[in-house]
Amino acid sequence: MGIAMVVGIAPALALMFLGVRNYTYPRVEQPFFSDPTFFMLFVVGLVEGSIVFVAMRILNAASSIILMVLLAVIQILAMVLVMNLRRFRGKSDSVFYGFALGLGNSCGFATGFCFLIYGALTDMDVSIGPSFVVLILLSVSMSLIMGACGTNVGEGIARHRVMEFALQALLPMVAYDMLLCGAILNGDSLLFYAFMVLMLVLGGLYYFYIMQRKLPNIVREVLLMEGKKRGDIPKSK
């Protein structure tokens, strides 16, 4: 089971490093966010993701497209609920805290799936080699999509346009959860692998768009809203 936990958490930790390394020490002398708050929200997200996974299992949501859409709504609203505190509103660092919250959610959700699948394979006494690759792809795609969606939510909080950006985050989250539902319902056919690839592509493209293309401009614009200006903001790719 330790393997399942590592697979569920490692991709999110890798993205955490890659996503914010240019915005904190030693890349910049003055970090764009507080490390303690960042990791606190990561832990909060981990708890949120675990609760949502348990709820999905209890409701057997994976068997219904409608329930998976509802699950996506719950995932985004849970992030909004945490981020919409007064201390985060109108602050440029809220974008990074949303990213941490999203990654935490992916850890809780992906680890639950990895435990479930790994446990089933162990009980059946079958080779876990090919399935291990699937678990990694699932965890990576969840980290990509939820990290990006969390950043979307954080942007809405920073700009005082909460629901507008929550809806922007909801669209890719709904698409991802619908693909996840398709993968689960076709677990015994080649369509399963097609859905897994589509989930990875969706997560990768949305992550690149939010974290590489948009994030520097978001930070710059929100800082200007705060009456601040910095010359060490990374360039968009």
Q: What is the pLDDT of residues 201-233, one digit of tens each?
A: 999 999 999 999 999 999 999 999 988 888 888
Q: Are 196 and 144 in contact (CB under 8 A)?
A: no
Contact between 169 and 60 (Cβ < 8 Å): no
Rounded mean pLDDT, 183-198: 87
Question: Does the pLDDT value for residue 160 go beyond 90?
Answer: yes
Q: How confident is the model at residue 180 (pLDDT cuts 50, 70, 90)?
A: very high
Tell me the average pLDDT of the chain.
Answer: 91
Q: What is the CA radius of gyration of the chain?
A: 18
Cα gap 62→184, rounded to integer Å: 7
Q: Does 131 score more than 80 pLDDT? A: no
Among the listed residues 78, 210, 74, the one whose alpha carbon sits nearest the alpha carbon of residue 155: 210
pLDDT at site 157: 97
Supply 57's token pair: 């299992």
User: Which comes out higher in pLDDT, residue 75 or 119?
Assistant: 75
C-alpha count within 13 angstroms, C-beta hemisphere, residue 62: 16
For residue 129, pLDDT over 80 is answered with no
Whether 108 shows a pLDDT value over 70: the answer reads yes
Q: For residue 214, count other CB atoms closer than 10 A to its CB.
A: 17
Q: Which residues contact residue 181 at a Cβ distance below 8 angstroms, ignoring those fewer than 6 apart? A: 62, 63, 64, 65, 68
Structure confidence at residue 120 as a pLDDT band (50, 70, 90): low
Strand stretches in 69-198, DSSP E: none
Structure tokens at 114: 């990895």
pLDDT for 67 equals 93
pLDDT class for 117, splitting at 50, 70, 90? Answer: confident
* pLDDT at residue 158 greater than cutoff 90: yes
Task: Please give the pLDDT value at position 1.
Answer: 59
Averaged pLDDT, 66-76 = 94
